[in-house]
Structures are given as C-alpha cells and as structure tokens.
Structure 1
Amino acid sequence: EIDRQNRQARAEKIFGRAGIQRLHRGCSFANYRVQNDGQRHALSQAKSIASELDTGCTNFVFSGNPGTGKNHLAAAIGNRLMNTGRSVIVITVADV
C-alpha cells in the first residue's frame, strides 16, 4: 500500500511539473474524438509532431478556436513522451 501511494505521489509530482492538468492526464491519440475534417487533420499533425519530438525537435505551438481539442492533443503528445522517460512541459497562453 505504501509503495502504491509513493508511486502515485511521484506520478502526481511529475504530471504537475509537466503542466498537464488532471483532466488531461488520460488523454491519448486513441481516445481523441474526431468529429470533422479539421480534427482529423489536427490528429494527423499531432502524431507527426510526436514522431518529430522523438528525433530531436524540442517544441511546438497549437493555435485555434476553443473546443477543438488542442489541450487534448498536446496532453496526448506529452503523455506519450513521458511514458518513454522524456521531460515535458505544457503551457497555455494564459500561463505566459
């Protein structure tokens, strides 16, 4: 039980430092809901960005209207990278 609590506390700390909000911690490409061609294109671009980050690209910016899935896709990229041991920080314009 103590080991589980320690792992959970460590995960919370890592996610907190990464800037991925609790709401988005389960986000992935697989659970992104595509409802139109724009979102289909955004998903494709996000997957491409994630692959580029594996080869050394260090940053990217999403922009667009509210409710289009930018936070979900940014978190999906961050979650994927953190699962491979990479460091991540996600910020929004409001954070700047």
Structure 2
Amino acid sequence: MTGETADLEFASTDGIALTDALDLVDPPAPADSDAMVVKTVRVPRAIDRAIADAADAAGVSPSAWIRGAIEASLAGRERSGLVNVDDVLRAIEALPRAVV
C-alpha cells in the first residue's frame, strides 16, 4: 500500500479545499457548559510567528493567547459602560496634535 501513495503529489491548496468541503459541526453542549470547541483559522505565516512570540512572552500557549485576544476583543463590544483600550488609543491618535 505504501508504494501506491509514494507517487502522489499534492498542491498546497488541496488541504484547504478538503477542510472547506467538510461540514464539521460541534456536538451540542448544555447551555450552561464551558466546554471548549475547536475552531480552525488560517493566518499568514508572519501572523503565526507573531502569535507564537507573543504567547511565549506571556508564558502561555498560542491557543491560550489567541483565546485571550478574542475575549479581550469581544469584551470591548459589550455595552457595559467600559470601553476597549485599543479604541481609546485609536481615538487619541486621531486627535490633532497641539502646536506649542
């Protein structure tokens, strides 16, 4: 069987096409469950390296770092009276500079 697959060639997009074709559905979890689900995300290699570096600097796994980044981003969208720090920094940067 191994000899039969030795001559096969695969393009780099074959795996992407296969995963896109699969209709993966997470099994239902109880509404109050904190069960984790797997999400597949494609990022450029440079972003992957940046995630690995940031996770390493924070002393966590890349998965935990990504989860934290998503949670932080979503927290800024809640109408709790709190604002996202990144939004504040962007607003400050957009202000005209004072001339002294």
Q: TM-score, normalised by structure 1?
A: 0.26
User: Of the two, which has the highest radius of gyration?
Assistant: 2
Q: Could you say which structure has the higher helix fraction?
A: 1
